[in-house]
Amino acid sequence: MMSAMPRAKGLYGKLTSLSRPPKPGSAAFKAWSRITDLNTALYRASGGRIGGSFDRAPVLLLHHVGRKSGQERVAPLLYLPDGEDLVIVASYGGAPKNPSWFHNLRARPETVVEVGRERRAVTAHVATEQERARLWPALLELYPAYADYQQRTERTIPLVVLRSRGA
């Protein structure tokens, strides 16, 4: 029986484990934002067939509202299915700060995600220590670059559990 090549050895794994998030306001950040917008458009147009995975990990579209701006935003993020819940990681590539979507969800935890063509109303909560202890190893198996991201930062990277509302 042939063994699968580890995810971290793939091209995307190499790139993501070496890359750092661009600084907000920089030209690289603006380019990254355009790529994210394109990914979101392709994801929606194809029902997730295009842009629905990254380095073999599944991607969802997280809707969130800027806590300061009030602007509606959408972020494509890797996720781990956990029973009926979905788990996302506020890694921001190991940056010293949490991503803005994390702060937006803390301010307004009731939101919507798109998984393929399905829209799902969810409530977000930061994983407890017990949830984190159970989920982190599964997330590292799903996307090994998270270990690199955690080593880059002094903060403990938060895990966010998205629980379906009114199922």
63-121: pLDDT as tens digits: 999 999 999 999 999 999 999 999 999 999 888 999 999 999 999 999 999 999 999 99
**Scanning the structure block, which residue is given the tokens 């781990």?**
80
The count of structural domains within the chain is 1
In a domain, 4, yes or no: no
CATH code, domain with 116: 2.30.110.10
Residue 80: give the domain boundaries.
Answer: 24-164
Q: Say what the pTM is.
A: 0.83
16 touches 145 (CB < 8 A): yes
Mean pLDDT estimate for the chain: 86
59 touches 48 (CB < 8 A): yes
In a domain, 37, yes or no: yes
In a domain, 67, yes or no: yes
11: pLDDT confidence band, cut at 50, 70 and 90?
very low
80 pairs with which residues across the strands?
87
Q: How many CA atoms lie within 13 A of 37 on its CB side?
A: 7
DSSP, res 158: P
In a domain, 46, yes or no: yes
